[in-house]
Amino acid sequence: MDSQTILQLRQEMIREGVLFYYCGYVTEQVLSVLGETVMDKLELDNTERPVARGVFSVFVEQVQNIIRYSAENQEGQVGERPVDLRHCMLAVGRDPAGLYVMSANAIKNRDVERLRSGLVHIHALDRTGLKAMHKEILRGETPTGSKGAGVGFVDIARLASRGFEFHFLALDDELSYFILKAHL
Amino acid sequence: MENIHIEPTKRSPAIDFDFDSGNFSIAGESYPEDVNKFFGPLISQLKEYLSAAQGATIQFRFDLIYFNSTTAKIVMGLFEILDEAAAAGNTVNILWSFAADDSNMEELGEEFSEDLEHAKFVMTPKE
């Protein structure tokens, strides 16, 4: 990557209000450090505690989803240690109305419709509906193996006080880019 | 049964299970890498204790700052087994402590307690 590209990227991020940006592989260890850094940044910015907690919660759910499901991954052994790296882009930023948490990761094209319909369903629910669905899933009344209705997405929807949006962009014959942006 | 005390980490809560006195608490943050690995052994010991308890007074305190969605399933399961212990004739008090400005944690406490039929439930906002 040349120096001009790096400068352009930096300027783009500033223009988009990005406070925190990560692009690369994540693991549980990376999540620990990123989560703490996001919290520290929000704290230093004197973010209201409930908002900061919401941002942190959404961030953790998004990263844990990626660790489990990102289709852009690399598995193998490093010495005796099994390694599973999952690629993603993450950003926490500020717009005039508040904060947002964005995640992007590859998923298999064949999973797009299932995930999309799950999210469309969650997106249409009001607070009461979200609460009911949350409970149904926790009770095990909804198949949890299905990505489309994971409790993590219901949690994100509950926490996103200004709503959430999602997009699926085709990458190639096999993969699509799944972008989830929660507004708090 | 041997009492359990686990120190908190950044990602897992402090655990105090005092089987002798019937006082139990889970406090702090909970988004462990492997939720079942962390909570599995604790829940099986708790179940063993509860199934043998007769006329006991049990106090279970949740004092959580943050927990992720997979931990939420564990919490829901704990409420269920505690309510069963109360149905079996034990006195069970569940305390839900939360930061006063944390409406999400308050809402979750309300949600978990909705199905309780026998156990007593108390919410305590903390300043």
**pLDDT tens by residue, B80-112:** 999 999 999 999 999 999 999 999 999 999 999
> Where are the strands (E) in chain B, listed by range?
4-6, 14-18, 23-30, 57-67, 91-99, 120-126
Contact with chain B for residue A28, Cβ under 8 A = yes
Give the minimum alpha-carbon distance from B75 to chain A in angstroms, rounded to a whole number.
9
Backbone angles phi, psi at A160, to 5 degrees: -80, 85
Give the minimum alpha-carbon distance from B36 to chain A in angstroms, rounded to a whole number.
14
A17-64 pLDDT, tens digit each: 999 999 999 999 999 999 999 999 999 999 999 999 999 999 999 999
Note the pLDDT of residue A40.
Answer: 96
Beta carbons of B101 and A49 less than 8 Å apart: yes
| Predicted confidence (pLDDT) at residue A145 exceeds the cutoff of 60 | no
A161-173 pLDDT, tens digit each: 999 999 999 999 9
Q: Which of A35, A50, A138 faces B72 most closely, judged by CB atoms?
A: A138
At position A65, the amino acid (one-letter code) is N
| Predicted confidence (pLDDT) at residue A177 exceeds the cutoff of 60 | yes
Burial class (CB in 10 A: 0-12, 13-18, 19+), A105: buried
Cα dist from A3 to A7, A155, B68, whole Å:
6, 40, 39
User: 3-state class of B75 per DSSP?
Assistant: helix
Per the structure, the complete domain to which residue B8 belongs is given by 4-126
Q: Which of A50, A56, A131 faces B111 most closely, judged by CB atoms?
A: A131
Task: Please report which confidence band the pLDDT of residue A140 belongs to, taking 50, 70 and 90 as the band edges.
Answer: confident
Number of domains into which chain B is organized: 1
B25-58 pLDDT, tens digit each: 999 999 998 999 999 999 999 999 999 999 999 9
CATH of the domain at B33: 3.30.750
The complex scores an ipTM of 0.90
Note the pLDDT of residue A141.
Answer: 63
Domain coordinates of chain A in residue numbers? 13-183
Rounded Cα distance, A121 and A149, in Å? 9
Note the pLDDT of residue B127.
Answer: 85
Radius of gyration of the CA atoms of chain A, in A:
17
Note the pLDDT of residue A148.
Answer: 38
Task: Please report which confidence band the pLDDT of residue B61 belongs to, taking 50, 70 and 90 as the band edges.
Answer: very high
Rounded Cα distance, B57 and B89, in Å? 10
Give the minimum alpha-carbon distance from B52 to chain A in angstroms, rounded to a whole number.
25
Give the minimum alpha-carbon distance from B68 to chain A in angstroms, rounded to a whole number.
7
Beta carbons of B104 and A57 less than 8 Å apart: yes
Q: Which residues of B touch A138 (CB under 8 A)?
A: 72-73, 76
Q: Which of B72, B73, B102 faces A50 most closely, judged by CB atoms?
A: B102
Interface A-B, measured as beta-carbon pairs within 8 A, has a size of 51
Rounded Cα distance, A111 and A101, in Å? 23
Averaged pLDDT of chain B? 96
- On whether the CB atoms of residues A2 and A74 are closer than 8 A, the answer is no
Burial class (CB in 10 A: 0-12, 13-18, 19+), B67: buried
Q: Which of B68, B72, B107 faces A64 most closely, judged by CB atoms?
A: B68
At position A18, the amino acid (one-letter code) is V
- On whether the CB atoms of residues B82 and B112 are closer than 8 A, the answer is no
Give the residue on B whose Cα is nearest the Cα of A29.
B33
Give the minimum alpha-carbon distance from B119 to chain A in angstroms, rounded to a whole number.
18
In sequence order, which ranges of chain A are alpha helices (DSSP H)?
Answer: 3-15, 28-44, 49-69, 109-124, 127-138, 151-159
A78-133 pLDDT, tens digit each: 999 999 999 999 999 999 999 999 999 999 999 999 999 999 999 999 999 999 99
| Predicted confidence (pLDDT) at residue A144 exceeds the cutoff of 70 | no
User: 3-state class of A184 per DSSP?
Assistant: coil
CATH superfamily of A13-183: Histidine kinase-like ATPase, C-terminal domain (3.30.565.10)
| Chosen from A135, A153, A154 to mutate, greatest number of chain B CBs within 10 A | A135
- On whether the CB atoms of residues A178 and A148 are closer than 8 A, the answer is no
The CA-based angle A105-A108-A112, given to 5 degrees, is 90
The contacts found for A164-173 with CB under 8 angstroms, 24 or more apart, are: A164/A123, A166/A116, A166/A119, A166/A123, A168/A107, A168/A112, A168/A115, A168/A116, A170/A109, A171/A106, A173/A109
Least confident of A93-97, A141-145, B10-14: A141-145
Task: Please report which confidence band the pLDDT of residue A142 belongs to, taking 50, 70 and 90 as the band edges.
Answer: low
